[in-house]
């Protein structure tokens, strides 16, 4: 990802409008990112993802097979110490 100071971004907006089609641009002020300029495609993908993540489901609506699948789930081997806590119950 390219980083550019606000003044440079403002002066050369047309250039960054083209660059953003290939990669996001972080716009900085005093060395800190204050915003990001992204393509419309990337922004729309982000919006779709945010909508998916916000969906929630009531546990009462789960089928018995879904409950069993969740109960049988385990974390990767690096978290075996946490899996052991589940097995103790």
Is pLDDT of 86 > 80?
no
Query: Helix, strand, or coil here: 38?
Result: coil
Task: Check: pTM over 0.75? Answer yes or no.
Answer: no
Q: Which residue has the tokens 């969906």?
A: 55
Is pLDDT of 87 > 90?
no
> For the ranges 2-11, 12-21, 79-88, which has the lowest average pLDDT?
79-88
Give the pLDDT confidence score for residue 89 in this predicted structure. 53
Can you tell me the distance from the alpha carbon of 5 to that of 26, in angstroms, rounded to the nearest whole number? 8
Q: How far is CA 67 from CA 38, 62, 71, 88, in A?
A: 40, 6, 6, 19
Is pLDDT of 56 > 80?
no
Is CATH 3.40.1620 what the domain over 2-39 is classified as, yes or no? yes
Q: Where are the domains of the chain?
A: 2-39, 43-87
Is pLDDT of 36 > 90?
yes
Give the pLDDT confidence score for residue 88 in this predicted structure. 61
């Amino acid at each position: 990802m390219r980083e550019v100071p606000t003044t440079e971004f403002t002066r050369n907006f047309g250039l960054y409008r083209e660059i953003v089609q290939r990669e996001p641009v972080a716009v900085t002020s005093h060395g800190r990112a204050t915003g990001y300029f992204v393509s419309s495609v990337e922004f729309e993908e982000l919006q779709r993802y945010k909508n998916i993540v916000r969906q929630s489901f009531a546990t009462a609506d789960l089928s018995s097979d879904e409950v069993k699948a969740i109960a049988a789930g385990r974390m990767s081997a690096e978290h075996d110490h946490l899996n052991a806590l589940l097995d103790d119950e």
